[in-house]
């Protein structure tokens, strides 16, 4: 009789240990799930900012084409929509918020809080500066000082697009962070001074970065 009671006690202990292990395992799974890294925004990551800028540039280009269409606008828009889809894939693969553009980030960052607007009168705004006449720059002259450079996501041979230089213009882009340069021809219109396609950007990029913060852009032809 005493042996049966002993075995019963052991079985009860085994069941209690199993239940504790199961509960602990469940808690571990829940903790791991809750601690999973969430996608980074453009404000949190340089890589995400570069991709968001590229996405915003392409969105602005599409908006411009729809506002002032011509015979080739439909083809250009279709091409840029394919580029946007690829950028979103790159955002997701890089751990960024898929679909976030520089336009979204700038709009969120540029909105003053209600408390600030209520406590202080609005400061008078300076008149807008005249747009730079970069397209009229002489050959060999540095242009678009202070501009960052990113990629459009387009394939093909090394090339650039620009909102200030006509097709056929040759631009030299130098990345001051690694002293790499590339000379490319402008082939299309974009929303920035110099937007490099994938092949051109690969020639001057730093590994893992999608934005050149310290760039020198020169008109060379």
Q: With bands split at pLDDT 50, 70 and 90, how would you rate the model's confidence at 154? A: confident
Nearest to 91 by CA among 63, 60, 53, 58: 53
**Spatial separation of the C-alpha atoms in residues 172 and 180, rounded to whole Å:** 10
- The mean per-residue pLDDT over the stretch 149-169 comes to 91
Is the pLDDT at 30 greater than 80, yes or no? no
- The mean per-residue pLDDT over the stretch 123-143 comes to 57
C-beta separation of 209 from 171 below 8 A: no
pLDDT, the chain, mean: 74
**Spatial separation of the C-alpha atoms in residues 2 and 80, rounded to whole Å:** 82
**Neighbouring-strand partners of residue 149:** 212
Residue 215 pLDDT: 94
């Amino acid at each position: 009789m005493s042996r049966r009671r002993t075995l019963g006690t052991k079985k009860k202990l085994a069941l209690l240990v199993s239940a504790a292990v199961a509960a602990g395992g469940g808690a571990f799974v829940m903790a791991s799930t809750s601690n999973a890294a969430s996608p980074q925004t453009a404000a949190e990551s340089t890589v995400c900012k570069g991709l968001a800028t590229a996405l915003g540039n392409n969105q602005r280009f599409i908006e411009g084409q729809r506002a002032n269409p011509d015979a080739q606008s439909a083809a250009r828009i279709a091409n840029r929509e394919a580029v946007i889809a690829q950028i979103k894939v790159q955002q997701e693969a890089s751990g960024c918020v898929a679909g976030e553009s520089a336009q979204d980030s700038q709009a969120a960052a540029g909105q003053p809080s209600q408390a600030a607007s209520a406590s202080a009168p609005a400061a008078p705004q300076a008149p807008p500066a005249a747009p730079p006449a970069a397209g009229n720059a002489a050959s060999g002259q540095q242009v678009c000082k202070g501009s960052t450079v990113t990629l459009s996501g387009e394939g093909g041979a090394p090339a650039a697009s620009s909102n200030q230089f006509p097709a056929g213009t040759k631009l030299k882009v130098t990345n001051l962070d690694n002293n790499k340069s590339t000379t490319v021809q402008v082939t299309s219109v974009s929303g920035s001074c110099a937007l490099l396609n994938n092949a051109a950007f690969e020639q001057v990029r730093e590994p893992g970065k999608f934005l050149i913060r310290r760039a020198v852009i020169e008109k060379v032809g």
